[in-house]
């Protein structure tokens, strides 16, 4: 529940398969946020989600092409975030 109290109010929350839990979806809905989380393969009930999240998945794939980001050389969160920002800027310009 600490995860839910931290982020600001948002219209959408994009997340990966790892965050697919009924209690998490309900908590997001109670907060007024629409979850855009694909269901796990083991889920019995099919969950609908926005297909536009493909852009986000491609962006993470491009970030992971950079070895420094993929292996997380920088252990300090501030330095790691700046490496991601620098990488995203270079990807944007290419």
| 60-74 pLDDT per residue, tens | 888 888 887 888 787
| Euclidean distance between CA atoms 83 and 68, whole angstroms | 8
pTM of the entire structure? 0.57
- Domain residue spans in the chain? 2-49, 52-93
Q: What's the pLDDT band for 79 if we cut at 50, 70, 90?
A: confident
Distance of CA 8 to the CA centre of its chain: 15
């Amino acid at each position: 529940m600490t995860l839910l109290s931290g982020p600001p109010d948002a219209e959408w929350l994009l997340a990966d398969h790892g965050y697919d839990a009924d209690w998490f979806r309900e908590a997001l809905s109670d907060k007024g946020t629409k979850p855009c989380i694909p269901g796990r393969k083991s889920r019995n009930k099919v969950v609908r989600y926005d297909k536009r999240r493909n852009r986000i998945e491609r962006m993470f794939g491009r970030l992971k092409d950079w070895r420094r980001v993929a292996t997380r050389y920088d252990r300090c969160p501030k330095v790691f975030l700046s490496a991601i920002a620098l990488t995203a800027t270079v990807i944007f310009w290419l």
